[in-house]
Amino acid sequence: MIVVVLNCGSSTVKFQVFEMQGERTLATGLVDRIGMAEATLSYAPAGRPAHRESPDVLDHGQAVEQILSILTDRHRDGVLEDRSQIGAIGHRVVHGGESFTQSALITDQVLASIRECVDLAPLHNPPNLKGITACARVLPGVPQVAVFDTAFHQTMPERSYLYALPYVLYKRHRIRRYGFHGTSHSYVYQRFLSVTGAEPKRGLRVVTCHLGNGCSVAAIQDGKVVDTSMGMTPLEGLVMGTRCGDLDPALILHVMGKEELTPAQATTLMNKHSGLYGLSGVSSDMREVLQEATNGNRMAALAVDVFCYRLRKYVGAYAAALGGLDGLVFTGGIGCNAAHVRARACEGLEFLGLALDTTLNDLAPGDLETRVSSGQVEAWVIPTNEELVIARDTARLVVPTVAA
């Protein structure tokens, strides 16, 4: 079966094509600047040179058409003979609310439930819906599956997901912690079980750290998430590229008054101008911030210090929530490639049985699954593969439908 995985943003569509027999990636790509001047289509067929085009792309429907066009054009290194080869389409959907604890074959009812979650993810669910609608129009009859960022975290107990606000707000407006990056946390947890040979036995305690431009931590026991750092929105938790993470809620009201900010401006401040970028004044990219810190930039060094301290504090807190620690996983661009961040995050956690091996940590290649500890707690670098999770779930849900 050929599965096309789509990740639709407000002005982008990322895509990846899988041959599920052998789980081979046939091609990857990105349509960028949808609805703007100078839209671009980047395309990388497996084993052949990547290339870039500049088509006119006014909306997500045209973006999907451009993707299908290049995938089936042998003169442009297309990997498919015809669009009829596509057996299913998997969509990343950011927010499934409390309606979805796992991926779902898209039906009218599922679409309605995704729309009900728009107010919980107003920047993400609408473009996800546009991608689904566009595919239904361009590829009628091809099954589609929604894979939710929030689903893996729906095992959290009430004590983890409720905020200490009047309970009626939860009942009226679904105010609670949902968590995100669920497909990534799920993937690296399953890979941890595989590479360590660990059984998902009663009591197995693992903390997974997804560290990229967006960052989150999950505490997993017996294969179920018991807590996660992101909340009702992806703003809560760790310091991130441009997001502030945890802060005193009264602080932002104070800043709004002092700076005369509107709610929209305050939201932009916390989401787009804070985090590593806001602290360092240099960049939201950890690579650039680390380089500046090495060059003696005090604010860059301080930004790294705050980032690593917050991460270490969450790992320790989640070890306490789990009653101990058996495994720690780093993934994402920072998690896989920043040995300095991993080392700083593990400092002082030897009392948990976590002993980072300096040599293994420094030599970890980033693109391979690598153990970086020597103590009883197994610490691993495991590259994530969210697209493969989406493709697998899509194939699993569609095959019975096709057979029927």
Phi, psi of 217 (to 5 degrees): -125, 145
Q: Residue 276 and residue 308: Cα distance in Å, rounded?
A: 11
Amino acid at 164: A
Dihedral sign computed on CA atoms, order 153, 155, 158, 160: negative
- In DSSP terms, which residues pair with 373 in a beta bridge? 356
Active site annotation includes 77: no
Q: How many angstroms from the chain centroid is the CA of residue 270?
A: 19
Residue 53 · residue 41 · CB < 8 Å: yes
Q: Residue 83 and residue 221: Cα distance in Å, rounded?
A: 42
Phi/psi class of residue 353: alpha, beta or left (left: φ > 0; alpha: ψ in -120 to 50)? left
- Residue in the structure block whose two tokens are 């932002």: 252
**Strand (E) or helix (H) holding 30:** strand 24-32
**Strand (E) or helix (H) holding 17:** strand 13-19
Q: By CB neighbour count within 10 A (0-12 exposed, 13-18 middle, 19+ buried), where does 133 fall?
A: middle
Of 149, 227, 326, 393, the active-site residue reads: 149
Residue 227 · residue 221 · CB < 8 Å: no
**Strand (E) or helix (H) holding 329:** strand 327-331
Residues 6+ apart with CB under 8 A from 229: 179, 215, 216, 217, 218, 236, 237, 238, 314
- Sequential DSSP letters for 127-153: HHHHHHHHHHHHSTT--EEEEETTGGG
Q: How many CA atoms lie within 13 A of 183 on its CB side?
A: 24
Length of the chain: 404
Q: Residue 125 and residue 347: Cα distance in Å, rounded?
A: 38
Q: Which residues are catalytic?
A: 149
